[in-house]
Structure 1
Amino acid sequence: MIPIWFGYALLTAIVYAAIALLAKVVSGTEIDDPITLTIYSCVPFYAVYVAAGVLLEPTAISESAVSNPTPLSAVFTAIGFGVVSTVGYGIYYWGLVSGDVSRFVPALAIETIFVLVLGFVLLEESFPAGVYMGVLLVVFGALFISYEHESGSLRGTVGPSTIVVAAVAAGAFAVLNTGMKVLTTEFGTLEILFWISVGGLASVVALAPFREGDRVRPAVHSSNLLSSRPSKGTTVLVAGGLLNAVALLTFVRALETGPVSLATAITKLDVLLVFVGSLTLSKLTPELLAEQFDPFTLVQKGVASVVILAGCVLIQFGSG
């Protein structure tokens, strides 16, 4: 029988893949500033959980904010993780803007190694040998799919910029994911998401003045502001942000009943879904998304995705 945490992690992977494809379509056409992408995509899901917390859990939230030192320190910790969340998403969108989504997103599977280490050190998580083999397959597949080759040659390298940016983003997300697992011992799901969103909103506000062109953009009269309509790209990003609200909810639910190391590894199934999605979009609607899919690359990405899938299966059966 498939455990509940596995199902929630799988659902999270599906939502993550949809978000990645939406963000890449927009970042390659209308918006190519990582900070702007971060603002439009993060504000919606932060706002959802701030509003949900105030409306649905006002008593629990007010008590945790003024009660004994342990919950109060946990509140500040959660707010700090909200800042880490914004930093992670900012670097994530930087990577999406500068590279192929089907290469950058898989490289983020490096996060699995970081979470495995943090889970062992902070939460004393340990697993059978088969589970570790599955995690290694996930990471190997992610690195292999990020391998770039010269046209007509088998020689190539994993782009250093792709790996470095992915590693930094993966480190931030690993801290966030492990932190949310720790917070499940102090708060309920909605409380965790509320306090993280408070920190996230505050950091987005601090980041907003640095978005491209903000300091030289002419003033907008209120009448023009009211009459203007959001662009298609902005609408897509907001939709992606709302989808991220769903992903955060399902992932925290996975953390409540399962280990953070394995739940994070299962979310890397989004690599397979992104591969299929980017291939489909490139063939059917190249005006939206055009990515390299020569025969070598097609086989490479297909094999790597299957390796990642095999790793997830090993994790499932190995963890019992």
Structure 2
Amino acid sequence: MAELPLENLTVPTSNSTAEEVVNTFAAEVKGKNVLVTGTSLGGLGFETSRAIARYANMVIITGHNDERLKLSETAIKKDNPTAKIYPLLIDLTSLASVRKAAEEVNKLAEPIHVLINNAAVGLIPFKLTSDGLELHWSTNHVGPFLFTNLIMPKILASASPTYTPRVVFVSSVAHANPGDPVNLDALTNPDPTKYSPPVAYRDTKAANILTALELFKRAKGKVNTYSLHPGLIYTNAFEKDGTLPIFQGAGVLDENGKPILSKSIPWKSIGQGAATTVTAAFDPSLNDKPGAYLEDCQVANDKVAPHASDPETARKLWDVTEKLVGESFAF
């Protein structure tokens, strides 16, 4: 186990990296068991896991591809040879896979102090999962919703008189894009003739914030929840089908698919992007701010769009999702 840093530590800012934030909150990270979804090399989840592994007791990394999951584990251990890494296979597009993964987690001896719902897809063509769900909704909301609730006993087991477990949802500033309220009909009755990739992404990222708020409400103080925008980061997500033209049209990627660098486009490195996630997971100043939304490692509740903070929408989304997965959850 690495020694806790002794240097003077500073409050995380928009330029902080995940590694710097982990060093700042090393005392909070030390001894914790953390589960991070979506940890492929080159992504935010991997960088989050790599940084946390320096001090955490155990980091559970997840993915739907065994080979890629092993690559991430090897890379993290190369950087942190003493790190305890537990690879977990989970396909968020399959409710059966989610249930199987949750069952595996619940059999572990260790409790889960922090769950980071990081995995997501974005701006992809219409596609239904084996469960009949639209892929955005399944990966970004329904899968994480079910997984979070199924492993809640393991999360609650980490609570103590001095510690409240945390659940973090990686959302996006895209949740605030203008448009109608969150379309729950697209969740329950997916229709390719009414489908729009940007709208689907917007609504599922709003769903992340709404779920965080409703989870905190229903847990009645037993769990602290947070959501966040990591920033504009060039990751392997930009290479997926259908994504490139949308971002080129938005003027953030050039004709070759590379980031357009300008003062008006605040690109972040992957390390800087993962910093806000780590802040949400460990910053002790957030203990009295449950349900907060973060940007640039700071609370930014004023930047949450009305459709993503409406209590009635949050309640309806939770109830509809419970019906979809065929299970109700109580705390």
TM-score relative to the length of structure 2: 0.26
TM-score relative to the length of structure 1: 0.27
State which structure, 1 or 2, has the greater radius of gyration over its C-alpha atoms: 1
More strand, by proportion: 2
More helix, by proportion: 1
- Identify which of structures 1 and 2 has the higher relative contact order when contacts are C-alpha pairs closer than 8 Å and 6+ apart: 1
